[in-house]
Structures are given as C-alpha cells and as structure tokens.
C-alpha cells in the first residue's frame, strides 16, 4: 500500500496568534487541537502556563516591532488579556494585521463600563459571557454568580441562583446589546452588580475570563472554542448547558505545594470532579488551578466544590 504524505495539509488550517500565554491560553489548546487550528502564543516567559505546552515566542507585548514580527507567522491575532496598549493594537491594524477584538471595540468598551463596586450597595455579582463573529452571529451563556472572599473570586455558580429568570434574561439581553453596539468580534464578559431587579454594568472584559471556565464541562461549546470560532468567522457553537448546574472552585496557593497528591483523596471521594492545573509556581493567594463539578443538586455540588477547593489550597486536611 502506498502512503502519500500531504505536506500542504497544515497550510489549509489557519494559525491563530494569542497575545498572552497564561492559564486562559492554556485552556485554548485542547479545542484548537480538536479543530486542527494551529495556535502560536506570544509569551512573556517560556515558563508561562500555556507556553509549557504550546508553540510560542517570548517577547514584550508592549513592543510593536516584536508583535509585527510575530504577526507574520499568524493568520489573525487575538488576546488572552487586556494589557496590550491601545496604541500597539492600532499599530498592528495600520500594518494590515487582522486583530480581534479591534482597537475600536476596546476603545468603545472603556466608555461603556466603570467600576461601581464602591458606589452601589449591591446584593450580588454576576457575569454574562457573550460571543460574536465578524458576520454578526452572536450567542450568550447563562449568567454566572461570582462568589468572592476579600475581593478574590473563590467560587462561581451557573446559572446564577441569586437572580430570577426574568433578570437572567434581562442580563443576557443587555450583554448581547453591548456586544453589538461595540462591534465585538471574539468573546466578552460583562460583569454586573445586582440590586433587587436592577443591573449595573461594572466591567467589560474583551478576552476569555475566569467566570467562563465552567463552560469547558458545563456547556456544549466552551468559551475557548467559541473564541476560535468567532475570530475565524466560523458558525458559532451551541452555548446550552450540559447539566442544570455547574460549580467551579478556584484553587488559591497556600502552604501546600504538592498539587498532585490531593488527587488520591479527592478522586476517591468525588469521582465526578474535573481538575484543571495551570502548572504555575505555588504562591500564597495565587490562582493555580480550578475544579469543576456539574449536576442537578446545587447544595451538593457546592459542598463538593468547596471541599475540593479548600483541600487543594491546604485550608482543610480531610
């Protein structure tokens, strides 16, 4: 039997450049691999979370000339974070680089949101993720409740149990309206403060976001796959939940350094748990991973997630 190797096969699949190589970029590797899409990361350090497992170059994201060289290897560029100066994004666009979201979207988003946490006596915080493609197709995921401790999100619950179905619908409509108004291409998270039935936009994030990590197991299409679809102008995926509830516990660094050994206890106790290690050096208070559990009984899911989170962080021993 004669085997013919087609050296052009990879050329028919695009290369998406990601500025940033942290844990959110790391979680893009699996859906990109499944789609056959090539990823190239622009990392700050070769030990960055995603740079450990994906092709990358190391450089300064504030340096336009370095990013222009990087862009020559990519069909388009998108972002893992919002730290790239607007002037640099505009410089890429002037040079003809396809950049999503566009600079105008970033600029418009800054006019749409202002931190109101200290101004409003709010009752809860939610986040609504949306995605929109170049041809205007848009989708949104169920609203997510953000549970914080000392200003740090330690747990997310989807769909947000603290709001009514009518407020949830209102929140999704608001997020989709903002996405259209600012001509979003990619994914965006709209963080909102809730007081009674009122919603106040607190922040817009023009990249993948921790509040959407539940979508890996909890949605038919994750935020990471949807980002690829949206920026490549492919038909968007189904954002429907795969279970009635999805709860995520964010693992913060503590005294415990070994993040592998806890599997022995946690996997035996709750085999339904899903683990995501970011492979970052453990420092106190640093977000080093997350766990996800999905199902029907919210009280039970919260107990499982909180126990796993606290056990891995070293706050409890059993």
Q: What is the arithmetic mean of pLDDT over 58-76?
A: 98
pLDDT value, residue 113 = 65
Please name which of 192, 213, 41, 48 lies closest in space to residue 122, comparing C-alpha atoms.
Answer: 192
Q: Are the CB atoms for 116 and 269 separated by under 8 Å?
A: no
97 and 71 Cβ atoms separated by less than 8 Å: yes
CA angle in degrees (0–180, nearest 5) for 46-52-58: 25
Q: Per-residue confidence at 3, pLDDT binned at 50, 70, 90?
A: very low
Q: In the prediction, which pLDDT does 118 show?
A: 72
Average pLDDT in the 141-170 region? Answer: 97
Res 5 pLDDT > 80:
no
**CB-based contact 156:214 (threshold 8 Å):** yes
Distance CA(318)–CA(315), nearest Å, equals: 10
Please answer whether residues 278 and 289 qualify as being in contact, where contact means their C-beta atoms are separated by less than 8 angstroms: yes
What is the arithmetic mean of pLDDT over 19-24?
98
Q: What is the pLDDT of residues 182-225, one digit of tens each?
A: 999 999 999 999 999 999 999 999 999 999 999 999 999 999 99
Residue 96 has pLDDT above 90, yes or no: yes
Whole-angstrom Cα distance, residue 208 to residue 197?
27
- Contacts of residue 98, defined as CB under 8 A and 6 or more positions apart, other chains included, come to 75, 76, 77
pLDDT value for 8: 53
Per-residue pLDDT averaged across 38-52, rounded? Answer: 98
Instruction: For residue 20, give the nearest of 54, 228, 143, 241 by alpha carbon.
Output: 54
Nearest to 49 by CA among 286, 284, 233: 286
β-bridge partners, 128 = 190
Distance CA 296, CA 292 (A): 14
Mention every residue, 6+ apart, whose C-beta is less than 8 A from residue 311: 262, 265, 266, 317, 318
Domains in the chain, ordered, with CATH? 9-99 (3.40.50.20), 114-313 (3.30.470.20)
Q: With beta carbons less than 8 A apart as the criterion, state whether 141 and 209 touch.
A: no
The per-residue pLDDT for 94 is 98
Does 309 have pLDDT greater than 90?
yes
Given its phi and psi angles, is residue 222 left (phi above 0), alpha (psi -120 to 50 degrees) or beta?
beta
Per-residue confidence band for 256, with pLDDT thresholds at 50, 70 and 90:
confident
C-alpha to C-alpha distances, 58 to 19, 40, 69, nearest whole angstrom: 10, 11, 12
User: How confident is the model over 24-35, as pLDDT tens digits?
Assistant: 999 999 999 999
Question: Does 111 score more than 80 pLDDT?
Answer: no
Distance CA 41, CA 87 (A): 20
> What 3-state class would DSSP assign to 175?
helix
Sheet holding 15-19, edge to edge: 56-58, 38-43, 15-19, 76-79
pLDDT-based confidence at residue 176 (cuts at 50, 70, 90): very high
Across 122-155, b (16+ Cβ under 10 Å) vs e yields: beebbbbbbbbbeeeebbbbbbbbbbeeeeebbb
């Amino acid at each position: 039997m004669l085997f013919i190797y087609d050296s052009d096969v990879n050329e028919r699949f695009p290369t998406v450049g990601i500025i940033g190589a942290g844990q959110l970029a790391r979680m893009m590797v699996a859906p990109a691999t499944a789609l056959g899409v090539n990823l190239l990361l622009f990392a700050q350090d070769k030990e960055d979370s995603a740079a450990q497992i994906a092709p990358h170059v190391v450089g300064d994201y504030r340096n336009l000339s370095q990013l222009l060289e990087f862009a020559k290897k990519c069909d388009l560029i998108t972002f893992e974070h919002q730290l790239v100066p607007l002037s640099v994004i505009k410089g890429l666009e002037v040079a003809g680089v396809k950049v999503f979201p566009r600079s105008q979207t970033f600029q418009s988003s800054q006019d749409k949101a202002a931190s109101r946490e200290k101004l409003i006596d709010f009752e809860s915080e939610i986040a609504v993720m949306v995605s929109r493609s170049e041809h205007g197709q848009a989708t949104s995921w169920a609203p997510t409740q953000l549970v914080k401790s000392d200003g740090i999100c330690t747990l997310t619950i989807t769909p947000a149990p603290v709001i009514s179905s009518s407020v949830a619908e209102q929140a999704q409509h608001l997020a989709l309206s903002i996405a259209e108004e600012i001509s979003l291409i990619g994914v965006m998270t709209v963080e909102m403060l809730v007081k009674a039935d009122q919603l106040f936009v607190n922040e817009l994030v023009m990249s993948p976001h921790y509040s959407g990590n539940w979508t890996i197991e909890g949605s038919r299409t994750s935020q990471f796959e949807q980002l690829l679809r949206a920026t490549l102008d492919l038909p968007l995926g189904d954002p429907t939940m795969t279970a009635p509830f999805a709860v995520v516990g964010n693992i913060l660094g503590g005294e415990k350094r070994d993040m592998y050994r806890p599997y022995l206890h946690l996997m035996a106790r709750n085999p339904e748990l899903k683990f995501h290690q970011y492979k970052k050096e453990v420092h106190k208070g640093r977000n080093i991973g997350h766990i996800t559990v999905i199902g029907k009984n919210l009280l039970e899911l919260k107990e499982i997630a909180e126990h796993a989170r606290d056990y891995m962080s070293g706050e409890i021993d059993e």
